[in-house]
Structure 1
Amino acid sequence: MLRDAHNRIINYVRLAVTDRCNLRCTYCMPENMQFLQRRELLTYEEIMAVMQPLAAAGVSKVRITGGEPFLRKDLMQLLTRLSAVFSEISITTNGVLTAPFIPQFKSLGITNINLSLDTLQRDKFKQITHRDQLPAVMHTLDNLLEHDLHVKLNMVVMGGVNTDELFDFAALTAAKPITIRFIEEMPFNGQGHAFSGQQWHYQRILDTLGSRYELQKLTDAPHSTSLNYHIPGHKGKIGVIAAYSRTFCGSCNRIRITPTGGFKTCLYGHDVLNVRDLIRSGAGSDQLMQEIQYALNSRAANGFEAEKEAKKENRHWDSMSMIGG
């Protein structure tokens, strides 16, 4: 089993398979985004070269992210290979290209999908994403529910942009068996401009929702990043993620691998090693795992410590489209 410097077991990896996206969300992607060349990305063989030893070391859950993962060619082939190794595979997607692949998910044991959606208004969707694709996303949402998949709808709360829709999103749980997750906005926009996570923090989000709805607290699962609630009479649930306040860091069980093979022990820290470069230099499974364990031995206790260390290097954070969330 992999353990970090604070004796926390690591059993969850978030794997970003591409930096490319078919949307241009302002809180996620820099205005002057320069996409990676194919040679810079981990190949599928290289992905399996690191994922298989991670699975052997006790990592049981993998979440596929991007960019938008369904822009990566032959993604379903990779998912098929991963399904033979990991007991739980989840996907985070913007939903624009996802619908045709939904019938295949269950055969691969994929039952949990996170759908990114920050507004229910078509004009505002175009304003946030610079693309007119809300109908495609809503079509994917309907298809996911028709196939009885577990859907978490992720809404990044942005002051002055979509805070007027908090009640509208919560209302979706009345008739739909979905979890709406309200997420504090983070500083990973790759543009260095202001973000609203400090003002629209998790407690303000909860207070706002609580002004209209009775929020009944649910028991949070181990390692949960969200505070979870239920509105009486509603089929779905509410979750609030303190992504900037970082209230959940103490139980973190996850690591991240970026599209270029960057290995992150914390979302708020920089890459601590590069598995792509190790593999291409001839490193085998044993050396890979030794390097990964060595990195975990120096892992920060929480996101605030990781941020402090990162700032010592005087570097800007990567954008969320590069990190993988």
Structure 2
Amino acid sequence: MKDKAGREIDYLRISITDRCNLRCKYCMPGDIETTDMENLLTYEEIVQVTETAAALGIRHIRLTGGEPLVRRGCVDLVEKIKNVSGIETVGMTTNGVLLAEYAKALKEAGLDSVNVSLDTLDETEFQRLTGRDELNAVLAGINAAKEAQIPVKINTVHYQHLDWKSILDYTNRVQIPVRFIEMMPIGYGAAYTGGSNEELFRQIEECYGNVSEAGTVRSREGEKYSADIRDLSYTEEKQQSGKHGAGPAAYYRFPGLNMDVGFISAMHHKFCRSCNRIRLTSEGYLKLCLCYEKGVDLRAVLRDPGKKQTLQEVMKKAIFEKPAEHCFEQVSEMTEHNAMVRIGG
């Protein structure tokens, strides 16, 4: 369905837990209070929301957390969602710690892709950032997903001391696309200084060659134009090296690399005009934009014996009112103050 800005909303990110086996400094740095299980949506309720979302035009689902693989039965949920009529793809975002254990089963359940969060390849820095000594487990998980023939992408947060060169050398060697994500002022992330993807783009060009040499792309009107290396906002036409899922990354191929590099640049290059996604928190709150608290409590609807409104009516009305754009550049205007782990990655 379309929202009031005329955008086609076809992508739903579902957080299935607020628990995690890492303690990343910009997400969940300490032992924060987690939600009681009875207040989380059950898998049956998640499937019910997915079925309703599919009826409204949602085609792509991504399971997130917390860390989705720490919730028992996650593989079975993947299979159930994959079998919902109208759902075309089911992906997962994970920190990778348990991925080696579950990769084969996830493939058999129908998982279409997995995004693995990886901000450093240095063991000491990894432990500093995540609070755990699990780098080797993450790398083993990535290898296991590849062996299971699940398409893998790496998510790397562009934090202040990012060693992007080692990340690119690794992803180029293992032939996995990487996306650099600008730090957003959500939850604990507001206390951290992130880098600009625009500056990172320039640095990568200096090392691996000028993207403009890779050719041309087409505008929506069909006219050819040189790739604007400073415009890192997403459009389908800017993905010079093919489609990489339903998300907001703008992908480029640098001459000195043999895999695609994506940039999710929410801070410096808004992609709100092409935003096609909504989020469901683990407690059942349907969020329309990361920046704002505005949304609707679907758990209350699901568990209301009176059923004053149908789930489809509530979801349709909420999606139509999706905000036109975020206000990360004006933090004082934000109304969302929950930690990212409460919202869903």
The TM-score, its normalising length taken from structure 1, stands at: 0.89
Which residue identity does 2:7 align to in structure 1? Answer: R
Please show how residues 39-58 of structure 1 align to structure 2 within 5 Å.
39-58=38-57
Residue equivalent to 2:341: 321
What per-residue deviation string (whole Å, max 9, x for no partner) do you get for residues 6-56 of structure 1? 111111100000000000001111535111110110011111121111112
Q: How much does 1:83 deviate? A: 1.1
Please show how residues 181-200 of structure 1 align to structure 2 within 5 Å.
181-188=179-186, 190-191=187-188, 194-197=191-194, 200=195
Moved more, 245-254 or 227-236: 227-236
Give structure 1 stretches of 5+ with no counterpart. Answer: none
Residue equivalent to 1:211: 206
Please show how residues 268-307 of structure 1 align to structure 2 within 5 Å.
268-282=291-305, 287-304=310-327
Distance, in Å, in 1 between the alignment partners of 2:67 and 2:142 is: 16
Please show how residues 103-182 of structure 1 align to structure 2 within 5 Å.
103-159=104-160, 161=161, 163=162, 165-182=163-180
Distance, in Å, in 1 between the alignment partners of 2:71 and 2:255 is: 41
* Contact 1:114–1:151 (8 Å) recurs in 2: yes
The change in CA–CA distance for 1:277 and 1:301 in structure 2 (over 3 A counts) is: same
Distance, in Å, in 2 between the alignment partners of 1:272 and 1:309 is: 19
Distance, in Å, in 1 between the alignment partners of 2:344 and 2:207 is: 34
Distance, in Å, in 1 between the alignment partners of 2:168 and 2:263 is: 11
Moved more, 170-179 or 11-20: 170-179
Residue equivalent to 2:93: 92
Count of residues paired in the alignment: 315
Runs of at least 4 residues off by over 4 Å: 221-224, 283-286, 305-310
The change in CA–CA distance for 1:73 and 1:310 in structure 2 (over 3 A counts) is: farther
The change in CA–CA distance for 1:287 and 1:310 in structure 2 (over 3 A counts) is: farther
Q: How much does 1:149 deviate? A: 2.2
Which residue identity does 2:296 align to in structure 1? Answer: L
The change in CA–CA distance for 1:43 and 1:310 in structure 2 (over 3 A counts) is: farther
* Contact 1:224–1:248 (8 Å) recurs in 2: no
Instruction: Give the root-mean-square deviation of aligned CA atoms.
Output: 2.4
Which residue identity does 1:52 align to in structure 2? Answer: E
Distance, in Å, in 1 between the alignment partners of 2:111 and 2:246 is: 20
Q: How much does 1:305 deviate? A: 8.7
The change in CA–CA distance for 1:137 and 1:173 in structure 2 (over 3 A counts) is: closer
1:227 aligned onto 2:250: yes
Distance, in Å, in 1 between the alignment partners of 2:31 and 2:7 is: 38
Distance, in Å, in 1 between the alignment partners of 2:62 and 2:308 is: 21
Q: How much does 1:100 deviate? A: 1.7
The TM-score, its normalising length taken from structure 2, stands at: 0.85
Residue equivalent to 2:65: 66
Q: How much does 1:322 deviate? A: 1.4
1:239 aligned onto 2:262: yes
What per-residue deviation string (whole Å, max 9, x for no partner) do you get for residues 172-193 of structure 1? 24322211111111112x3475
Please show how residues 248-263 of structure 1 align to structure 2 within 5 Å.
248-263=271-286
Give structure 2 stretches of 5+ with no counterpart. Answer: 218-237
* Contact 2:209–2:256 (8 Å) recurs in 1: no
The change in CA–CA distance for 1:265 and 1:111 in structure 2 (over 3 A counts) is: same
1:15 aligned onto 2:14: yes
Distance, in Å, in 1 between the alignment partners of 2:153 and 2:136 is: 18
Q: How much does 1:316 deviate? A: 5.2
Residue equivalent to 1:266: 289
The change in CA–CA distance for 1:22 and 1:10 in structure 2 (over 3 A counts) is: same
